Amino acid sequence: MKTNIGNSVLELCDGDITEMSTDAVVNPANARLILGGGVAGAIRRKGGPSIQAECDKIGGTFVGGAVITTAGSLKAKYVIHAVGPRAGEADEDEKLKNATLNSLKVADENNLKSISLPAISTGIFGFPIERCAKIMLETTIDYLKGPTGLGRVVFCLFGSENYEVFAGRLEQETSK
């Protein structure tokens, strides 16, 4: 599913984010930037140890923050590590909005033209997929309506159920 927002294309796909060939892929990170399980573990396994080594040098970031490293042997050139909230901590919606927004800003600050994002915080952090879709899509659409060098933003979702939630939400957002 694709739609135009401003001068950019917003796209949804059901796939493996480690196989995306956008300029950057977003890792739904923890605040210590340790690439353990889930998406982060897959990025570490496919991208190689250099990504974790760069994360170790950075040392971490705050919940809602985003930092960039190279992507090792992934198809993407960079990994943007965005720290989303854990379900049940305070201000989760604002923190997820900030993680999304900061990922997009880091991409722009590094003159990237395309980025792939997962459904941040919906794995081991337990954030509800419906709330995630609403927050991430609203934030991204608002961002793309402003000045940006991003030409393509892809939400790379794992599984048809997650894709369908995002697709339904994107239809709602674009019909406003």
Q: Does 2-174 carry CATH code 3.40.220.10?
A: yes
CA of residue 158 relative to chain centroid, distance: 12
**Reported pTM:** 0.96
pLDDT in tens, 128-169: 999 999 999 999 999 999 999 999 999 999 999 999 999 999
Domain ranges across the chain: 2-174
pLDDT value at residue 176: 74
Q: d(Cα 59, Cα 102) in Å, to the nearest integer?
A: 18
- DSSP letters, 40-99, are HHHHHHHH-HHHHHHHHHH----TT-EEEEE-TTSSSSEEEEEEPPPTTSTTHHHHHHHH
CA 42 to chain centre: 15
pLDDT, tens digit (0-9, with 9 covering 90-100), for 76-128: 999 999 999 999 999 999 999 999 999 999 999 999 999 999 999 999 899 99
Reported as a single tens digit per residue, the pLDDT across 36-87 is 888 999 999 999 999 999 999 999 999 999 999 999 999 999 999 999 999 9
Q: Provide the token pair at 112.
A: 């990237």
